[in-house]
Amino acid sequence: MWFEVGSLVVLTLILIGDLLLILKRPHIPSTRESALWVVFYVSLALIFAVLLWIMGDDQHAIEFVSGWLTEYSLSIDNLFVFVLIMTQFSVPRKYQQEVLMVGIIIALILRAGFIMLGAVLIENLSWIFYIFGAFLVYTAARQVFEREGADDDKETFIVRVLRRFIPIHDAYDGSKLRTTVNGKKMLTPMIIVFISIGVTDLVFAIDSIPAIFGITQVPFLVFAANLFALMGLRQLYFLLGDLLERLRYLKYGVAFILAFIGLKLFFHALHVNELPFINGGEHVDWAPEIDNWTSLGVIVGAIAISTIASLVASGASKKKDASTEVDEKK
Concatenating the DSSP letter of every residue in 11-22 gives: HHHHHHHHHHHH
The sign one gets for the Cα dihedral 219, 220, 223, 224 is negative
Given a cut of 70, whether residue 191 has pLDDT beyond it is yes
How far apart (Å, rounded) are the C-alpha atoms in residues 71 and 236?
14
- pTM value? 0.76
Average pLDDT of every residue of the chain: 80
- Looking at residue 329, its pLDDT comes to 63
How far apart (Å, rounded) are the C-alpha atoms in residues 258 and 210?
9
Q: What is the dihedral of CA 52, 53, 55, 56, to 10 degrees?
A: 90
- Looking at residue 47, its pLDDT comes to 93
* Phi, psi for residue 147 in degrees, rounded to 5: -70, 135
Residue 110 C-alpha from the chain's centroid: 12
> pLDDT digit string (tens) for 119-164?
888 877 778 888 888 888 888 888 788 765 555 444 456 666 666 7
User: Which of 39-48, 103-112, 170-179, 221-230 has the weakest average pLDDT?
Assistant: 170-179
- Sorted by where each begins, the domain ranges of the chain are 2-240
CA distances from 258 to 35, 43, 132 (A): 28, 25, 11
Given a cut of 90, whether residue 165 has pLDDT beyond it is no
Given a cut of 90, whether residue 43 has pLDDT beyond it is yes
Instruction: Please give the biggest Cα pair distance in the chain.
Output: 75
* Phi, psi for residue 294 in degrees, rounded to 5: -65, -45
Average confidence (pLDDT) over 215-227: 87
